[in-house]
Amino acid sequence: MVAREQFQVELTALRGQIISLAHETEKMLEKAMEALYNQDIELANEIIAYDEQLDEKELKINEDAILMIARQQPVATDLRRLIIALRISSDLERMGDNAKNIAKAAIHLGENHGLTIHPALNDMKQTALKMVDLSVKAFEYEDITLARKLAELDDLVDNMYGEVVREMLEETATNPQKIQHIMQMAFSARYIERFADHTTNIGESILYLVKGETLDLNK
Amino acid sequence: MAATITIEPKMHKQPTAVDEKRETILQTEDLSIYYGDNQAVKHANLDIEKHAITALIGPSGCGKSTFLRSINRMNDLIPVSWNEGKIMYEGVDILSKNINTIALRKEIGMVFQKPNPFPKSVYNNITHALRFYGNRKKKQLDEIVEESLRKAALWDEIKDRLHDSALSLSGGQQQRLCIARTLAMEPNVLLLDEPSSALDPISNAKIEELILQLKEDYSIVIVTHNMQQASRISDKTAFFLNGSVIEYGETEKIFTNPDQEKTEDYISGRFG
């Protein structure tokens, strides 16, 4: 009983664009962290340049969704599907910005800074990547159980972040000459934490899609 | 950073129209309508609210127009039509045999899909029935004509053409004249059967605006195939399918988050 085939085709294409954008933010975070740990300035610059492409893709998703709203005049779940497409693409764009900011931090730190990047940042990144993966699956299958799991992982990231920042604060007390560098590391931790927050927003969008209500996954 | 992962609803379910309580003007009780052996409406229980706009939606042949017509006994004109159940209006079952259908149709007026003005002047279209009921005072008739045309948002457009043939008006004007003609009888309830489906978008917009204004003074039941129209103007929506009421509720809910999958499929244009 599938009528409105054109609408279905367009919707599937739009969802495909979102999923691919999500995978790109994943890749950007991974590369940004690689640049940070390996003091790879060239890679960091590549990431910064790549962010522009991400912005364009977000714009394309927005335009497509708005056009579909105007032409197909969807209601109920169909309308919410397009509304969350707008929201999620904006979250993904911000996630790209967070990865870009980590790349900028890598540049600020420069080469041969002689500082060990806190290993907890890597753990935070791993969890954040898992969260992207989970949010993509939740989006793909419109699965609220998966969406809700994001809240658990977000708590994990928040806790790691709190811990890292506390340790770094202590270190600034003992090594005040390194304060600029430590700040960059703390910023990076903050960017990962924000990156993860946006994946919980995606989870909230999926809950909104399925239940038609606004719920908070990020407390 | 709370450790709990329980999800509490936040910032939603603010008091909206959903919580509004309106009086009921009409109630159908287990209403079934048949054409011969064919059951066109199956056990419908609907409370039609006063000073509200109730939209009846559903695919062709779902029973919504039959339901609408039963409210002022228009189905009586179809010989094979018969019914079971009740339609309560002001404490009376209007389906009972001793109902004066002429008087009933004054109380519960109807406007049809195609504008059907009489081939008479604008003025006489409105006064025809009034004269039939014995009102022949010119001054009074003049007042009723003006008032009805004003209520139907037509006065300013055609006040200088009152004695022109109604057939010289545009389709949209003709339809508003038909509404004015119905209003002249001072009904309580207005039944509208796809009143703007034969009109251009501007005329349609005028009719919709008019219906919203009329809500102040009348209770309105409208059959429409135009989903946007139902969602724009109605307070309550009933979705009919194969003669049954599948879902009936606040329009806001029906068009954003209906309870029934069939309703969602229909309003999303997936069948019908």
Q: Which domains does chain A have, with CATH numbers?
A: 5-211 (1.20.58.220)
Count CA atoms within 13 Å of residue A198 on its CB side: 25
Q: Per-residue pLDDT tens for B7-58?
A: 444 444 444 444 457 899 999 999 999 999 999 999 999 999 999 999 999 9
Residue B2 or residue A40, greater confidence: A40
Are the beta carbons of B71 and B87 closer than 8 angstroms? yes
Q: Which of A1, A4, A77 is best to mutate for the B interface (most B CBs within 10 A)?
A: A77
Task: Give contacts of B5 with chain A, Cβ < 8 Å.
Answer: 148, 151-152, 155
Q: Is the ipTM of this complex over 0.85?
A: no
pLDDT at A4: 83
**CATH number given to B23-267:** 3.40.50.300
pLDDT by residue for chain A (219 residues), tens digit each? 456 889 999 999 999 999 999 999 999 999 999 999 999 999 999 999 999 999 999 999 999 999 999 999 999 999 999 999 999 999 999 999 999 999 999 999 998 788 888 999 999 999 999 999 999 999 999 999 999 999 999 999 999 999 999 999 998 899 888 898 999 999 999 999 999 999 999 999 999 999 988 888 876
B14 interaction partners in chain A (CB closer than 8 Å): none
Instruction: Judge: A212–B257 Cβ closer than 8 Å, yes or no.
Output: yes
Tell me the CA end-to-end span of chain B in Å, nearest whole number. Answer: 49
pLDDT at B20: 59
Q: What pLDDT does residue B15 have?
A: 43
Flag whether residue B5 sits within 8 Å of chain A, measured between CB atoms.
Answer: yes
Would you call B13 an interface residue with chain A, using a CB distance cutoff of 8 Å?
yes
State the CB neighbour count (10 A cutoff) for residue B206.
21
Look at A4 and B231 and tell me if their CB atoms are within 8 Å.
no
Query: Are residues A152 and B255, on separate chains, in Cβ contact within 8 Å?
Result: no
Phi, psi of B162 (to 5 degrees): -60, -25
Cβ contact, residue pair B1, A155, below 8 Å: yes
Dist. CA B112–CA B65, nearest whole Å = 10
B3 contacts in chain A (CB < 8 Å): 155
- pLDDT, residue A116, reads 86
Alpha-carbon gap: A149 to the closest alpha carbon of chain B (Å)? 8
Instruction: State the Cα–Cα distance between residues A27 and B157, nearest whole angstrom.
Output: 65
Tell me: the pLDDT tens digits for B90-148? Answer: 989 999 999 999 999 999 999 999 999 999 999 999 999 999 888 889 999 999 999 99
Q: Tell me, what's the pLDDT at B271?
A: 78
pTM of the model: 0.83
| Residues on chain B touching A155 (C-beta within 8 angstroms) | 1-3, 5
Rounded distance between C-alpha atoms, residue B170 and residue B204, angstroms = 12
**Substitution target from B239, B257, B264 for chain A, most A beta carbons within 10 A:** B257
Q: Give the C-alpha separation, B140 to B144, whole Å.
A: 6
Round to whole Å and give the CA distance between A38 and B168: 84
Q: Which residue of B has its CA nearest to A217?
A: B7
Nearest residue of A to residue B228, measured between CA atoms: A73
pLDDT for A213 equals 83
Contact B10, A215 (CB under 8 A): yes
Burial class (CB in 10 A: 0-12, 13-18, 19+), A122: middle
Using CA coordinates, name the residue in chain A closest to B11: A214
Distance from CA of B1 to the nearest CA of A (A): 6
Q: Hey, where are the domains in chain B? A: 23-267
Whether the pLDDT of residue B5 is over 90: the answer is: no
Nearest CA in chain B to A209: B257
Q: Measure in Å the smallest separation between the Cα of B98 and chain A Cα atoms.
A: 45
B269 touches chain A (CB under 8 A): yes
Q: Choose among A74, A77, A213: nearest Cβ to B12.
A: A213
pLDDT digits (tens, 9 = 90+) for B178-228: 999 999 999 999 999 999 988 889 989 999 999 999 999 999 999 999 999
The per-residue pLDDT for B132 is 87
pLDDT of residue B244: 97
Confidence at residue B9, expressed as pLDDT on a 0 to 100 scale: 42
Q: Is B126 left (phi over 0), alpha (psi -120 to 50) or beta?
A: alpha
Strands B108-111 and B189-193: parallel
- In 3D space, the residue among A56, A46, A61, A62 whose CA is nearest the CA of residue A100 turns out to be A46
Of B8, B227, B271, the CB nearest to A75: B227
Of A1, A152, A212, the CB nearest to B256: A212
- Chains A, B: CB contacts under 8 A, how many? 63
Residue spans of alpha helices (H) in chain B: 64-70, 101-107, 122-132, 138-151, 155-158, 171-183, 201-214, 227-233, 251-256, 261-267
